[in-house]
Amino acid sequence: MKEIYMDHSATTPVDREVFEAMIPYYTHEYGNPSSVHAKGRTAKKALEKAREQLASLINATPREVFFTSGGTEADNQAIVSYMLTNAHRGRHLITSAIEHHAVLDTCEHLHKNGFDLTVLPVNSLGLVEPEALRKALRPDTILVTIMHANNEIGTIQPIAELASIAHQGGAAFHTDAVQTVGKLPIDVKAMGIDMLSASSHKLYGPKGVGALYIKKGTRIKNILYGGPQENKMRAGTENIPGIVGFGQAAELAQSRMSDLAEYLNGLGKRLRDGILESIPHTIPTGEPENRVPGSVSVCFRFVEGESILLMLDSYGIMASSGSACTSGSLDPSHVLLAIGLPHEIAHGSLRLTLGKDNSEDDVNDVLEVLPKIIGNLRKMSPLYNGGGSS
Amino acid sequence: MYSQKVMDHFMNPRNVGDLDIADGVGEVGNPVCGDIMHIEIQVQDNIIQDIKFKTFGCAAAIATSSMVTEMVKGKTLEEAERITNRTVADALDGLPPIKMHCSNLAADALHQAIKDYIARRNQA
């Protein structure tokens, strides 16, 4: 059976070129970059090259890039360490209702431990209103953390504007850019970002590697204790093969970003328009135009997401959903609820996230199969009255 | 995650739809939870002659609905009443733990349909 992978916001395949760049660092250049000898020096050189590659992608200086085990660790370090290190200036932080759990749960953890937290609502497109941020800022606010683009609904936030408002209020600005690094142009300097989290496996790099950009002069420390790696910001022997892969993936992403974004925007629009035209009672979610390239998110009324996913899977089509069954809880995704969807509609969510290897044919195949699947599930649904008014 | 039997009943559900004439109707769940099971039965001489279901929900919800209809078709009302959510899950070779609570209500819908049938019969 043909495989059609449309879950690139979950993870991506490792590029062949990236994989090949990594292999020597597993097999014969296996040195520890902290070692003095030749193998150690080779590893150290590879580590610093990767740092330059990633720095270049986001217009940072290499010394501002710190490798971590992934986006989650980067988010944890940025938020926890910034709040702890700067607590003498204030104990209030602000985030948004549609953050990834790596940010939301970290903020909640601080809240439970005596910090003050404001969770900003979003509008029906998933956008944080700049005015809402302005009003939420207090004299004791020291950190604002708002994601660049949302993983479920694809909406891109006005980061430069939000960062500027945070700074006017005397707070630092962190963004979880896991869904956008390598996909959208990011200039940390022009956008006024103080800290940014990135993940390798979302941009055709390996899993288990991420990075935290920390603007020079930002007061923040390590959250893992041990050796002096990463300029004392991240203890633990560096995952050199992974970091090399991340660097290579970053360089590749930079070289093909505008072409790939254009391709995926076109393909995504075709898929989204095709779904909306062929399947009635479908609600698109997120900002319609200003989206993560290739991200398509919709809710089908009267049906449930896990059922859609398993039916698609039987045709070799791999996607995701924010329904309760797929979120591992009894509630549908917090993002879909935050944009104002009622539970019964949020349960019918489907996310298709396209990647560089998806073709027009893939989109055609999905557009052929999906209306049948939704039709069959609706025929089975006691909520559906047969296509009449609803 | 799901047993082969669950996937079979999900992909090829038995007895989907509505009855022309239902002697008893049962419905449990609600759309907020993401599961609704609707079961209709036709009863003659104390035996469930025909049964149909409609379900909004995940694969477990659909499979348990399908399985319960298969288990009770042709059975007496007393036999049908003895079926529990647990026996339905067992007949499907089990469900993932998280599904046992939220999506395993098909026997409840069946029992409601039987109750409805008995209430109607007693009124007649």
State the pLDDT at residue A326: 67
- For residues A206-230, average pLDDT: 98
Determine, for residues B34 and A347 on separate chains, whether the beta-carbon distance falls below 8 Å.
yes
pLDDT for B102:
72
- Give the pLDDT score at A388: 43
Output the pLDDT for position A390: 38
* Chain B residues within 8 A of A381 when measuring between CB atoms: 36, 54-56
pLDDT of A266 > 50? The answer is yes
Average pLDDT, chain B: 95
Confidence tier at A56 by pLDDT (50, 70, 90)? very high
Q: How far is the alpha carbon of B84 from chain A, nearest alpha carbon, in Å?
A: 22
pLDDT score for A324: 75
CA dihedral sign of residues A5, A7, A9, A14: negative
Q: Which two tokens stand for residue B45?
A: 């001489």
Asked if B58 lies within 8 A of A323 by C-beta distance, the reply is yes
Interface with A, mutate which of B27, B32, B102 (most A CBs under 10 A):
B32
- The dihedral through the CA atoms of A30, A62, A77, A74 has a sign that is negative
| Percentage of chain B modeled with pLDDT above 70 | 100
Mean pLDDT of B103-114: 94
Note the pLDDT of residue A386: 67
Mutate one of A281, A299, A301, A304 to test the B interface: name it (highest B CB count within 10 A): A304
pLDDT in tens, A99-155: 999 999 999 999 999 999 999 999 999 999 999 999 999 999 999 999 999 999 999
Q: What is the pLDDT of residue B31?
A: 81
Structure tokens at A245: 């892969």
Query: Which residue of A311, A330, A379 is in closest CB contact with B33?
Result: A330
CA-nearest residue to B53 within chain A is: A380
pLDDT band at residue A327 using 50, 70 and 90 as cut-offs: low
For position A17, what pLDDT does the model report? 97
User: How confident is the model over A170-188, as a mean pLDDT?
Assistant: 98
Chain A residues inside the 8 Å CB shell of B59: 306-307, 310
pTM above 0.90, yes or no: yes
Active site residues of B: 33, 102
Q: What's residue B77's pLDDT? A: 97
**Taking an 8 Å Cβ-Cβ cutoff, which residues of chain B contact chain A?**
7, 10-11, 13, 16-17, 27, 31-38, 54-62, 98-99, 102-103
pLDDT of residue A385: 83
What pLDDT score was predicted for residue A109? 98
| Given A87, A224, A283, A325, the catalytic residue | A325
Average pLDDT over residues B30-59: 94
Q: Are A382 and B56 inside 8 Å of each other by CB?
A: yes
- Is the predicted pLDDT of residue A389 greater than 60, yes or no? no
Given a cut of 80, is residue A40 above it in pLDDT?
Answer: yes
For β-strands A92-96 and A141-145, DSSP reports them as parallel
> Which pLDDT score, from 0 to 100, does residue A299 have?
98
**Predicted confidence band of residue B116 (pLDDT cuts 50, 70, 90):** very high
Is residue A388 left, alpha or beta, with left meaning phi > 0 and alpha meaning psi from -120 to 50? beta
Please state the rounded mean pLDDT for residues B59-63: 95
Task: Compare CB distances from B59 to A302, A306, A342 and report the shortest one's residue.
Answer: A306
Q: Is the pLDDT of residue B11 over 70?
A: yes
Residues of B in contact with A343 (CB under 8 A): 31-34
A299: annotated active-site residue:
no
Contact B7 A310 (CB under 8 A): yes
Reply yes or no on whether the pLDDT at A93 is more than 70: yes
Determine whether the interchain pair A347/B11 forms a contact, defined as Cβ–Cβ distance below 8 Å.
no
How many whole angstroms separate alpha carbon A258 and alpha carbon A236? 36
- pLDDT category at B103 given cuts 50, 70, 90 is confident
Residue B36, CA distances (Å) to A128, A185, B105, B111 in order: 34, 45, 9, 15
Do A383 and B56 count as a contact with CB atoms less than 8 A apart?
A: yes
Q: Tell me the count of A-B CB pairs closer than 8 A.
A: 67
- Give B115's DSSP letter: H
How far A273 CA lies from chain B's nearest CA (Å)? 26
- Kindly report the average pLDDT of chain A as a whole number: 96
